[in-house]
Structure 1
Amino acid sequence: MAGFLGPRAIFWAFIVLTTAVIYKTYIHNFIFLTLGIGREIQPIEDFQWTCERVRHSLLEGCEDLWLDEQNRKLYAACNSLESRKGWSPGGNNYNISARSRTDHIAVMDVDQPGSDGLYGLRQLKISGYQDDLDLHGFDVRRIKGRLRFWLINHRPPVDHATGEFLDALVVGANSTVEIFDLDETLDTLEHVNTVASEAIVTPNGVAVEEDGLGFVITNDHNTKTGTFRNLEMLSGGGSLAYCRSNTGKCHIAADRGFSMANGIAHDKNGYYYVANSASGLITVHKLVNNELIQVESINTGYPMDNLWLDVDGNLIAAAFPDLIGLVRSSIDPYNSVAPATVLMINDIAKQLKTYGRNVKLSKLVEDRDAKSLPSSTVAVHDAKGHKLFLAGMFSPFITICEQRP
């Protein structure tokens, strides 16, 4: 009878549909996004930048950067590579004994290279905080004339009754957000407050509102540990937590539609931009009634890490054109550097209003042969100084680029 599907035909139609969904959702992303099959990676000579690598023990393992445009200083959250390889909860590394306990914020004067080419490199001192710092992402705001830092701190878990470390492989890190004020005359961070909450699950990036009260962190996984945690690279996962600096209270403000929520940036229009590492999407969110509602999604076609919003409103993303190369670099960072890509969306707020998700995306720079750029997890664009600063969580150096006329 015409139009009638028998059980056998229905079965095969179901198989075809299921296969198509699995391919589109998992296999397609793995082949073209994760493996980068068919992706064109350009040599750095194609771009108008002159780049130099800056090496120093204080500039190893710098996962995140922040640029003070006003005072022309670059701040970096860094640690030794051996420590990163052993204790890095975001990367499923839970060896507490491998921690070097040397995490620090490095600072450089970006317009004064000096005779040694180290830009006045020094380490900020810490005051009023007795524990160790295990740094990841961070953000900074100028509040009443002083710089205030919000630092993600992956503290190891401790049994408060005995003071002994717990098994981090079982319970995960005891992550917090530490707030410090900077005394710039003494290069000293003075502790203000610790924000601890069950909503701070697996924090990766942090973005602070203009008034310095509200801030959002990205949780890059759904759970601190677990058998299926690694599968989130395929299935997706993560959430956004909204916190208040003055009360220390946090709550999960969004927990759907993420694929390893990673870097985050916030603009003056109230939009939050979130890099989803596993899907190559930048999701755009707005705070409504204490919930972070997704209002748009931009497909970049690249796995990504940290985001940076420059003073001209351009969104910058540190992207991974060769994820397998990045894994090799994380295993042997002194001898292997991964190709790197920096993506840019010009005046993203204006483009979103005009074009929606069809914004124009461009490559700011790319280094196919890993000649100059690090295995980058962060890229900061200095729109005024026409410079670019790049660093990597598993890189033994940072790179400073100047734009050629």
Structure 2
Amino acid sequence: MGILVNLILGVIAVLLASLYQSNVHFVLYTGVRLYFGVGHTLEPLTAFPAYRCRRIEDERLQACEDMWLSEATRQLFLACSDPKGRQQWSPKLSVTNHVALKEANTKDGAVLSGAIFNASGRSLTDHIAVLNIDEPEGVDGAGFRTRVLGTPGYPGTHGDGTLNLVGMSGHDGDSADGGEVRLWLIDAKPSVDLATGRVFEDQTAAGGNQTVEVFRAIGGRQATALEHLESFWDPLIMTPNRIAAVGDETNAFWVTNDLGHSQSRWKRNLSPFFSQGSVAHCSSKSKNDNSQTSCHAAIPSGLSWPNGLVHNRHDGLLYVPSSMLGKVDIYAPTTAQNGSPLLPMKKVDTVDVGYAIDNLMVDKHGDVWAAVFPVAKKLGAAGGTRLRRCWRMGWGEVLPMATSVVHDATTGRVISPFIAVCDKV
């Protein structure tokens, strides 16, 4: 019996030592602290008199997970959905996400049946909305001229033409009028039986069909539709969260896998604690390349819940936020002599923001802005933070359910989807 006890104690000691060395204890401590907002103080918008904020009421601007501002055409593109449909179909959410979503919505009487893999309850009306941000309308200019862009010819889920939007990114053309505006969209489609074309009733095994779709905006400064250019599917695009477009001729981009690469639900739920998140770099064939579209592991692992990354064209760096640790890791892309990216990427700095971070954006001056959750448990309490290029923190505000933030450096306006707009007074 003594030998058995010693053996068990030895195994436990090895496991604890392994967990300690793998940094799980630090991730767990930090994640719990940010989840409950320990040490954070929530302040109302009135505490920031330099900004006047208002909410835009428009049924076309609901559940807008992400957005991107075209500086050249002065159009704000938003990836919007149906709130009830998103409660039914979010194939890559972890249990933590789902519990928080349930707590946030059941208070309003919403019913969550079928959990996050209920493909039959998914939204069939996800769309890209566009705001002309220099054309206010309504009472005292409280709103903006808004359009919904069609996607003619896009196959969607086995020919139904639908989108299930998550993250997005964009790129302006080089000409004075904005040129070719391209959008990269994450489409979280359900898996289908290719033999019958029917959506699998049980999506838990397949885990959904996550792809990155590239579109071109038709209509210039008054975009009217999106033309589908290319689809990216790869085993390295498993739990995509956000895209950072490069904008070259190969439609290249980086994408975060916030919950790693496993299809297993329990492994995905543990992924943030064991830092299994990753970043992939994908591109299509170039003019001098006969290969197919391909992805490579830019950051193979080691990230705790990597979220809305951005590529800063002003300094050439890639900014990757961690929702679990409240930090932004900064990487320098390196290339070989033939111009292809060298992997893995080199980390050059880390910014400790101190808040659970969702999406980042870069304004035209090169400043990086972050949508943060002061108390992650209360998803409705969110804010915006600016990170200067010299890595210093700027001001913050509490905004309603802000998963993204856009800073229009031309006007000083700050926009977050619910959608809230804050004008500099």
TM over 0.5: yes
1:322 aligns with 2:322: no
Correspondence 1:319-358 to 2 at 5 A: 319-326=372-379, 338-346=380-388, 348=389, 351=390
Residue identity over aligned pairs, in percent, reads: 33
Identify the residue that residue 259 of structure 1 maps to in structure 2.
Answer: 304
| Counterpart among 163, 166, 186 of residue 133 in structure 1 | 163
TM-score norm. by structure 2 comes to 0.80
Q: Is the 8 Å Cα contact of residues 173 and 224 (structure 1) preserved in structure 2? A: no
Determine if the alignment matches structure 1 residue 220 to structure 2 residue 243: no
Whole-Å separation in 1 of the counterparts to 2:355 and 2:59: 30
TM-score, structure 1 as length reference: 0.83
Does residue 303 of the first structure (1) align with residue 356 of the second (2)?
Answer: yes
Query: 2:191 aligned with 1:150, yes or no?
Result: no
> Does structure 2 conserve the Cα–Cα contact (< 8 Å) formed by 1:309 and 1:315?
yes
For 1:169, which of 190, 199, 204 is the aligned residue? 204
**What letter is aligned with 2:208?**
A
Question: 2:371–2:405: 8 Å Cα contact kept in structure 1?
Answer: yes
How far apart are the structure 1 equivalents of 2:249 and 2:59? 32
Which residue type is aligned with residue 254 of structure 2? Answer: V
Q: Which amino acid aligns with 2:234?
A: S
Structure 1 residues 353-392: aligned runs within 5 Å: 359-363=391-395, 365-367=396-398, 373-391=399-417
Q: Do residues 209 (structure 1) and 255 (structure 2) align? A: no
User: Could you report, residue by residue, the CA deviation over 1:186-215 in whole angstroms, capped at 9, with x for unpaired residues?
Assistant: 611011111111111111100111425321
Aligned to 1:191: 228
Cα offset for 1:169? 1.2
1:8-33, Cα deviation, whole Å (9 max, x unpaired): xxx9xx79x96987785144313422
After superposition, where does 1:81-120 map in structure 2 within 5 Å? Answer: 81-92=83-94, 93-115=116-138, 117-120=142-145
Q: Quick one: distance in 2 between partners of 1:115 and 1:44?
A: 23
Q: Deviations over 1:29-87 (max 9, x none)?
A: 13422211122222222212101101222100000011112222111000010011111
* Equivalent position of 1:239 in the other structure: 278
Selected match of 2:330 from 284, 301, 307? 284
Which of 213, 217, 221 matches 1:182?
217
Q: Which residue of 1 aligns with 2:338?
A: none
Q: Distance in 2 between matches of 1:362 and 1:118?
A: 27
Match of 1:333 in 2: none
Q: Where does residue 159 of structure 1 map in the other structure?
A: 193
Alignment of 1:17-36 (within 5 A): 24-36=25-37
Corresponding position of 2:421? 400
Question: Whole-Å Cα distance in 1 between the matches of residues 223 and 368 of structure 2?
Answer: 33
C-alpha contact (below 8 Å) 2:27/2:325 kept by paired residues = no
- The CA deviation at 1:91 is 1.9
What's the offset of the Cα at 1:240?
Answer: 0.7
| CA pair 66-202 structure 1, distance change in 2 beyond 3 A | same
Aligned residues: 361
Distance 1:245 1:143 in 2: 18
The residue identity in structure 2 corresponding to 1:59 is L
Report the CA distance between 1:159 and its aligned residue.
1.7
In the superposition, relative to structure 1, how do residues 228 and 36 fare at CA in structure 2: closer, same or farther (>3 Å)?
same
SS in 2 for 1:57: coil
Give the aligned partner of residue 272 of structure 1. 318
SS of the residue corresponding to residue 400 of structure 2 reads: coil
Quote the offset at 1:343 in angstroms. 1.1
| Distance in 1 of aligned mates of 2:270 and 2:24 | 16
Amino acid at match of 2:255: I
Contact 2:406 2:414 in 1 (8 A): yes
Residue 30 to residue 196, structure 1, CA distance change in 2 (3 Å): closer
C-alpha distance in structure 2 between counterparts of 1:100 and 1:152, whole Å = 15
**Aligned partners of 1:236 and 1:278 also within 8 Å:** no
Q: Unmatched 5+ residue regions in structure 2?
A: 1-5, 95-115, 157-161, 286-291, 335-341
Tell me, in whole angstroms, the C-alpha distance in 2 between the residues paired with 1:298 and 1:97.
42
- Change in 2 beyond 3 A, CA 1:31/1:172: closer
**Does residue 346 of structure 2 align to residue 293 of structure 1?**
yes
Contact 1:57–1:80 under 8 Å retained in 2? no
Bigger drift between 30-39 and 254-263 goes to 30-39
In 2, distance between residues paired with 1:152 and 1:20?
35
Distance 1:236 1:126, change over 3 A: same
| CA offsets 1:270-320 (integer angstroms, 9 cap, x no match) | 311011111111111222314323222221111111100111111101000
- Given that 1:322 and 1:339 are in contact with CA atoms closer than 8 Å, whether structure 2 keeps it comes out as yes
Whether contact under 8 Å (1:32, 1:39) holds in the other structure is no
Verify the 8 A CA contact 1:262 1:305 in the aligned structure 2.
yes
The residue number in structure 2 matching 1:312 is 365
2:38 aligned partner = 37
Query: Which amino acid is 1:194 matched to?
Result: S
Is the contact between residue 123 and residue 164 of structure 2 (CA under 8 Å) also seen in structure 1? no
